[in-house]
Amino acid sequence: MPRRVARHAAPLGDGRVVWLFGDTRRAPSHGATMVLNSMLISTRGCFAQVLTGGAVIPDPGVAGERLAAWPTCVISLDRGRWSELFVCTNTIRRHGGFWGFTLLGTSVTRFVVPDGGAARRLETVALSADDDALDHVTWGTASVADDGWIVVYGTRAPTGGFGREVYVARTRPEDIENMARRQYRGATGWGTRRQMTPGTRLGPCET
């Protein structure tokens, strides 16, 4: 079994479970020996690796930019004979030593998984533009499917303060790539991005 750092899991419509991982070491026979994200599908204790020759979600950008996609959350929707997956990833830029990186933005990648079959990646769209400022909203901290909506949570480090502010946005699955149709939670309900306001601020020792 490859050595992995578990990230997230979600049930599929056929009873299997999909697992998303961050940095993953693999045997040389499986292609790249180190990839920045990977996927397993399990059923009754049997695990099958989704093999693509590299990361299951390719590195964003162009060669030489040292960009990578780290999974943050996954939603699975049962579509009858297949499941639809939405995987949120943070785009990061590596720099300095092994642990050096800058968080830039968030994307979501859509997969289809036929019942009993393997996952197939369809498309990747941006949830936010890349921004290396420290006070931008980091979307994809968590997500949930709710009454036909995909609800995505984000956090932001306030300028000159401690803790993280919590933000909430939602979209219909079919509109995931359409930023203009996303709704944001404000003080009086759902509205445009300009009406977005933070919810609870989580301090360093709060949960």
The domain locations on the chain are 59-202
Q: How far apart are CA 75 and CA 10, in angstroms?
A: 7
Q: Determine the pLDDT at residue 125.
A: 87
Cβ-contact 74, 20 below 8 angstroms: yes
Give pLDDT tens digits for 158-189.
777 677 888 999 999 998 878 788 899 988 88
The mean per-residue pLDDT over the stretch 46-64 comes to 79
The mean per-residue pLDDT over the stretch 39-61 comes to 85
| Position 97 pLDDT exceeds 80 | no
The closest alpha carbon to 33, from 58, 5, 54, belongs to 54
Give pLDDT tens digits for 139-165.
888 888 999 999 999 888 877 767 788
Residue 55 has a CB neighbour count (10 Å cut-off) of: 21
Q: Determine the pLDDT at residue 74.
A: 92
The mean per-residue pLDDT over the stretch 96-101 comes to 71
Q: Determine the pLDDT at residue 64.
A: 58
Cβ-contact 183, 171 below 8 angstroms: yes
| Position 111 pLDDT exceeds 90 | yes
Buried b (16+ CB within 10 A) or exposed e, 90-120: bbbbeeeeeeebebbbbbbbbbebeeeeebe
Question: Residue 17: which pLDDT band, with cuts at 50, 70 and 90?
Answer: very high
